[in-house]
Each structure stands twice: as structure tokens, then as C-alpha cells.
Amino acid sequence: MRANRAKTRAGVSMAATLPMIAGALALGIPAAHAADNPSRDTLAGTKPAWATAKADKGATSNGAQVSARVYLAGRDAAGLAAYAKAVSDPSSPQYGKYLSAKEAQARFGATTAQVSAVKSWLESAGLKVTGVTQHYVTVSGDVAAAEKAFGTQLHNFAKGSKTYRAPQQTASVPEALKGAVLTVTGLDSAPHKASHDDTLPGPDSVFKNSGPFSSYYGSNTASSLPSAYGSKIPYAVKGYTGKQLRSAYGAGKYTGKGVRVAITDAYASPTIAYDAATYAGNHGDAKYSTSQLKQVLPADYTKTEECGAAGWYGEETLDVEAVHAVAPAANITYVGAASCYDDDLLDSLSKIVDNHLADIVSNSWGDIEQNETTDVAAAYDQVFQFGAVEGIGFYFSSGDNGDEVANTGTKQVDTPANSAWVTAVGGTSLAVGKGDKYEFETGWGTEKATLSADGKSWTDFPGAFTSGAGGGTSKTVAEPAYQKGVVPKSLATANNASGNRVVPDISAIADPNTGFKVGQTQTFPDGSEQYSEYRIGGTSLAAPVIAAVQALAQEAHGGKAIGFANPSIYAKYGTKAYHDVTDTPGGKEYAVARVDFLNGFDASDGLATSVRSLGKDSSLKAVKGYDDVTGVGTPADGYVESYKSTRHHH
């Protein structure tokens, strides 16, 4: 599973010359110069793609209310990106020369003069400034004032069956503010969400897996079921635990001691401390020491129904338990967002960067690229660049719907995993054999066929695509330097001759059919809330596993932060640091048998038996070398150790 963020976007587009004189005076520009400088600085991406002339339903009422966020570009946006790049590149003399949060803000953050200029411009248009942070200024007011400030009419547009407000042209700011404003969000009223004065609901209803199971890959053959790919197949594993994953990904003696990992999701599971401690106790993971697991939570939660708040509890539980299972001595800080909307998720990421709460950040949420507007992408990238400058790396799951065609009708990647400033984590199906021995991996992509009524065959084998690791080529993000020479040209140029970002960068276990066991307090059919365990997967599992492996690598690196890891991940391409994953290891195709409770809890409503094929990820293929399912591969025995030899003394 991977949670969806909601899109709370700011759609803005540009043109118009607001009454320049008033705006100019507020900025202290002599009136004589105001009239001869009617040009404005456009904020690209603020007019959403769906705000077309055809969908236009006319002007929004002037008295309707708008709440917006004006993001600040800071004093040197180009310098921030350049420093972030240099400090993350192992071949640069500035590699590892990180700044503290305070130094980064002093060097690249907005100046006091910029903030007051932005405030006076907004106030002169008739908007009320409701808050100022080091990243943005929040305002509220009526549509007429917003139109005056941002130089665009706000109209109502049809989007699907609903109608939302959006700018008719791209929003703009007065020329005098050029370079001070990064973007504005909130001018459009469509939900901007990741797909999780409210109170948090109780946990979702219980989910259990039916047996039979394998305890390790292949330990229990489904001899009474039909063959697949020419042989009898094993039952799916009951759920791997930390010992098996540590062995598969070369943890060795490392535990992540002294390393800080943060996890972001929306909301917060009320039972996380109990669940995590119980799970660790049941599976031989180290006990949590005092304050090893901390939470940083917002003052209140919003949109709990719209975002399905309780669904995010399982996400948080999976992320925390997976990190602790693989890096049992790492400190974990969970940073919960107030909702699944972009603005709130951005606030969580900013909290981590502004207070340097961790060096490694795992994020198991996202949305499809076509829902991302360039304004919001710019706000995310700014946070990721500030993080890189401080030595903080962000890891994002690549998605659970393969090429997204079955899900959306359009081949596309997910976001924020598509950002050139994050490590996108793809997914595999993992076989860990007897004695915790790594056997093989395939790309994660599942096709499912069910058992025929007479039990003698699989109907329409291998069946329909159900889920798989997200990947492919971005349509909007240019190819980053670290991918050149590693990513095949055919992938990089799939949407654009000059080359675009390809996802993912690295991968780990994701397939729920070879998944991880988690323990969570859930609501049982009788209404009681009880702890119970189940098998789970998704790139939501891969991201925290890679974050935990990075904690081990940072410990091997002498405790020195790895920071934004992509340049070093690609620099190790083709070495013994990685398992090179293909869909047909040893030239063979693989499948597992699964038996499920029809009601998700017990056998009272019957059982369903199916065969799940491995390595069938929509149109995406895991092949020899870099590919768009698994990236450079998964960490092998040499991976964590490889950070030992690259230790730098500063």
C-alpha cells in the first residue's frame, strides 16, 4: 500500500497589470517609474491544466473568500541549487561540507526586506496577512483582492463532475518582486491531496491473511494445486521479518546506531508506541530504548474524512516497524502532517529541514505526475534542496500501479518521486530462503489468476495485472546529471529528445506476495480494538527499508551524513554493491499461491485461492543493468560496506 497525497494546489497564471501605481508605492518604487514598468513577473504553473476555455463557467463571485500561500524564493535560489548539487557529489571538493539549518537559512533564506516587500504588496491589494514563516506568507481575503494582487481573473471551471475555482491566466507578481516570490498556492480550489478541528478516527477494520504459508521462500509447496510455469509453486510467505531482510540486504554487524531517521505521513496512529514495541518483542528485534521513537505532531488535524485518516495509521506503522527491523539502533522521529494535502505535507518536510530532525527521511506517499503543477513542484524542490545543503536525504516510494495505465489511462510516473532532488525507491519481489539466505529478486509486478471451480487449473492464467512498482520516464523533469551514462538513452528520451528524469533510482522488497509482516491495533468485527499481525507490501515498504539501509551505510560512513544520495548511488552502479534485478532470474519465471479470506478476517464467508505471478509490471520491465522498475538494483552485501571506503574527514 502507499498513501495518496491530496493535491491542494495553487493554480495561478499570468497577465494583467494590476493598478501598478498603488502596488508600486507600497514597494517604495517612485510613482514616476511605476507607470512605465507595467510588466509583471509570471509564476509558472499557477494556472492548472484543467482550467481551459472550454471548461470555463464564468467569473467567481467577487465576494467569495480565498486563502493562499505565497512561497518565498529566498535570497539566492540559483545558489541554493548549485550548493545542493556540489555538496552531494562525491567528486566535488565541496562534497559533505554541509551547512547547519541556521547557516542554510542565513545564506539562502528570504531576507527581512523581501518578506516586508511581499507583505506590503499583498496588503496594498486588500488581502489580510494571516501568517509569516521563513518559507511563506499566508493571506486571506476576497476574490477581488486576490485578482488585484495576482494579476489574473478567478473563474469557475468544470473538472470532471465538479466545479472548482482557478486563475484564468497564470498568476504574476509586480516586477519589483521578481526573484522574491517562488510561487503561490491556493488560488485554485481543487483538492491537492496525497491519496490520507477534526479528531482522529479509530483504527480501520481488521485484516488477516489466511494460510497455508511458507515460513521462508519455497518452504511449503502447494502440491495439491495446479502447476504454473511448468512446476509446482510455493505458498506465499507468512511475511518476512527484520532478520530475513537484514540478511538479504547486507546489514552485517551494522545497526544504524547514532543515526536519525524521520518518517512523514499524514495524521498519527494513536497506538504506534504500543504496536511498535509489541511487534519488536514478537520478532526478536531490539527493544526500543527510551525516546528512540519520537513523534512531532501538528496542533490539530483537518480533512480526516476526505483523506481517510485511519488508513494512514497502517502506513505509519509499516514505516516505523520496517525501519526498526532493519536498523534496530537508529532513532526514529515520526512527523505527522495535519492532512493529506500538499501544503500540510510540505510543512512536515520543512519542520524536518528547519530543525534538522534527521539525516534520512522516508516518505511513503505521493500522487500521479499529471496532478502535479509546477508551482507545487517548485515548493517541494526548494525544501529538498535546503535538505541537501544540510546533509538530509529524502526517499520517496515510486508508486504501486506500475506504469499507471491501468489506474489512470495514461502512462506516467508518480510525484514527488519524480523530483530530481529525491531518491525514488522502486520495488521487487524477494525470495529469502532457508537460513535467511538471499535467493533472488524479480521486479515487482503482479498478475493474478484464480483457481477454477474443479480445482484443476488456473482460470485465464497468468491473469490480469493487479499492482506493481511505479516507474518510467517523467514528462516534466529534465534528466539529472547523475543519471547520464547509466540510464539507457531509450528510457531517458522516451518523452523528450533531450532526456528526462527516469524513476526509480534504487529498489527493495515491495511485493505484498513476498511481503513484510507488520503488527497493528485494528478494529475487530465485534467492535473491539486488538493488536494483530498481517503481511503487507507496496513501495511503501521499499522506501523505509532503503531508508534503514542508508542508516546502516551512514553508520559505516563514520556517522557522517550521506545527504542527498543519488550521486553516490549512481557512482556505485555496476559494482558488487548491488543485486542486479531482472524479471526472470536464471532465465525462469516465478509465481506463488495465495489463499485469502473472502471477508478479510476469517473463513466464515469462504476462501479464495489464486496464483500470483512475479515480475509482470505492466509495460515496465526489469532487465540486466539499470531499468525503470528497480533502478540500479537492490543493496547487496557490498553496499553498506562501500560507504566505509568513501569516508571523508572534514
| Res 355 pLDDT > 90 | yes
441 in Cβ contact with 428 (< 8 Å): yes
Report the mean per-residue pLDDT for the chain. Answer: 92
Q: Tell me the three cell numbers of residue 84.
A: 545542493
Q: Summarize the confidence of residues 425-435 as an average pLDDT.
A: 98
Percent of the chain exceeding pLDDT 90 equals 88
Non-local (6+) Cβ contacts of 390 within 8 A are: 98, 99, 100, 101, 104, 353, 356, 563
| Res 415 pLDDT > 80 | yes
Q: Summarize the confidence of residues 64-93 as an average pLDDT.
A: 95
561 in Cβ contact with 648 (< 8 Å): no
Q: Summarize the confidence of residues 312-328 as an average pLDDT.
A: 97
- pTM of the predicted model over 0.75: yes
- What angle, rounded to 10 degrees, do the helices at 637-645 and 539-556 form? 40
The per-residue pLDDT for range 528-572, each reduced to its tens digit, is: 999 999 999 999 999 999 999 999 999 999 999 999 999 999 999
What does the alpha-carbon distance between residue 512 and residue 272 come to, in Å, rounded to a whole number? 22
What does the alpha-carbon distance between residue 564 and residue 394 come to, in Å, rounded to a whole number? 7
The per-residue pLDDT for range 120-172, each reduced to its tens digit, is: 999 999 999 999 999 999 999 999 999 999 999 999 999 889 999 999 999 99
Query: Positive or negative, the Cα torsion across 470, 476, 479, 481?
Result: negative
Of 24-33, 61-70, 113-122, which range is least confident? Answer: 24-33
| Res 648 pLDDT > 90 | no
Given this model, what pLDDT does residue 625 score? 98
Q: Per-residue confidence at 6, pLDDT binned at 50, 70, 90?
A: low
The per-residue pLDDT for range 449-491, each reduced to its tens digit, is: 999 999 999 999 999 999 999 999 999 999 999 999 999 999 9
Given this model, what pLDDT does residue 211 score? 92
| Res 502 pLDDT > 90 | yes
What does the alpha-carbon distance between residue 287 and residue 452 come to, in Å, rounded to a whole number? 46
Given this model, what pLDDT does residue 33 score? 32
The per-residue pLDDT for range 624-639, each reduced to its tens digit, is: 999 999 999 999 999 9
Q: Per-residue confidence at 386, pLDDT binned at 50, 70, 90?
A: very high
Q: Per-residue confidence at 5, pLDDT binned at 50, 70, 90?
A: low
Q: Tell me the three cell numbers of residue 415.
A: 510525484
Query: Domain residue spans in the chain?
Result: 3-74+110-191
37 in Cβ contact with 175 (< 8 Å): yes
The per-residue pLDDT for range 9-44, each reduced to its tens digit, is: 332 222 222 222 233 323 333 333 333 335 899 998
Given this model, what pLDDT does residue 172 score? 95
Nearest partner of 17 among 51, 42, 48, judged by Cα: 42
What does the alpha-carbon distance between residue 438 and residue 107 come to, in Å, rounded to a whole number? 47
